[in-house]
Amino acid sequence: MSSLIGNDIDAYCTKCRLMLYHIILVDRDNVVSRVKCKTCGSEHNYRSALPSPHPAKGKKVKSGLSNTPPAQWERMKNDLKPNIPIKIYRTHDTFRLKDVIQHHVFGLGFVEQIISDTRMEVLFSDSIKRMVMNTEESSLRPV
């Protein structure tokens, strides 16, 4: 099997942060694993492409579950009747179970549970959030 060592290869330079010509330093079974940048001379592991600006690692993947907040929220939104009043969420207002609210950040929400006189759980498009309500403190207004 012929070696690729010493050949030029177009690779991503981790130092120059550009696609540049590199010299192949190490190959294993014709898979390039280490290269040297012809521009800056740095040796690094071979990357065939620019790194993704948004790495997928750490991303929550919940597939196949229809009861995740997004799926549930989608269903609630689809079932929403046009005559249902949507209340603007304000911390000093009181909400009831099944109320539909509009939050200035989280968007459309459905009151899922009343925990106490001042606490409720609201289903938003990405998650269920615990929200305050019925507060007398005007300083607790949403920012």
Under the rule (CB under 5 A), what is the footprint of Zn ion?
A: 13, 15-16, 37, 39-40
Using CB positions, name the residue nearest to Zn ion. 37
- Compute the least distance from the CB of residue 143 to Zn ion, in Å: 45
For the sheet with 31-37, list strands across it: 8-13, 18-28, 31-37, 43-45
Q: Are 128 and 73 spatial neighbours (Cβ–Cβ below 8 Å)? A: no
Smaller CB separation from Zn ion, 39 or 127 = 39
Smaller CB separation from Zn ion, 12 or 95 = 12
In one-letter notation, the amino acid at residue 5 is I
DSSP state of 52: P
- Compute the least distance from the CB of residue 14 to Zn ion, in Å: 8
Q: Are 125 and 70 spatial neighbours (Cβ–Cβ below 8 Å)? A: yes
Helix (H) or strand (E) holding 87: strand 86-88
- Compute the least distance from the CB of residue 74 to Zn ion, in Å: 47
Smaller CB separation from Zn ion, 38 or 92 = 38
- Compute the least distance from the CB of residue 28 to Zn ion, in Å: 22
